[in-house]
Amino acid sequence: MHIGKSYRLTEFLHWTRRRIYVLVLVTTVPVVLYQWLGLKWIALPWAVIAVLGTATSFIVGFKNAQTYGRTLEAQQIWTAIATNSRYWGLISRDFPTDREKTQSLVYRHLAWLTALRYQLRTERVWESAASQSNAEYRKRFFPIPEKETSLDQELRKYLAEDELARLSAIRGKAMRLMSDQSEAIRSLYANQKIVLTHHAEMQKALKELIDQQSKAERIKNFPYPRQYAIINTIFVWSFVALLPFGIVGEFDKLNAHVSGFLAGNMGWFAIPFSLLISWMYISLDQVGESTENPFEGSANDVPMAQICRLLEIELKQMLGESEVPSLLKPKNNIIL
Q: Which residues are within 8 A (CB) of 230 and not within 5 positions of it... i.e. 6 or more apart? A: none
- The verdict on residue 333 lying in a domain is no
Contact 101, 193 (CB under 8 A): yes
> Is residue 223 domain-resident?
yes
Q: Is 80 exceeded by the pLDDT of residue 42?
A: no
Residue 30: domain span: 9-318
Rg over alpha carbons for the chain, rounded to the nearest Å, is 27
In whole angstroms, what is the distance from residue 100 CA to residue 122 CA? 34
pLDDT, residue 80, reads: 94
> Where residue 258 falls among pLDDT bands split at 50, 70, 90?
low
Count up the domains in the chain and report the number: 1
Which one-letter DSSP state was computed for residue 70?
A: H
Summarize the confidence of residues 15-33 as an average pLDDT: 85
For the chain, the average pLDDT equals: 84
CA distances from 10 to 14, 100, 126, 137 (A): 6, 54, 28, 12
Give the per-residue pLDDT at 87: 92
Helix, strand, or coil (residue 2): strand
Whether residue 260 has pLDDT greater than 70: no
Q: Does residue 4 sit within a domain? A: no
- pLDDT tens digits for 291-300? 888 888 787 8
The string of pLDDT tens digits covering residues 165-182 is: 888 778 888 899 998 888
Contact of 303 with 310, CB cutoff 8 Å: no
Q: How far is CA 300 from the centre of its chain?
A: 5
State residue 211's pLDDT score.
94
Question: pTM of the full predicted structure?
Answer: 0.85
Distance CA 322, CA 160 (A): 21
> What phi and psi, each to the nearest 5 degrees, are found at residue 9?
-60, -35
pLDDT at 81 over 90: yes
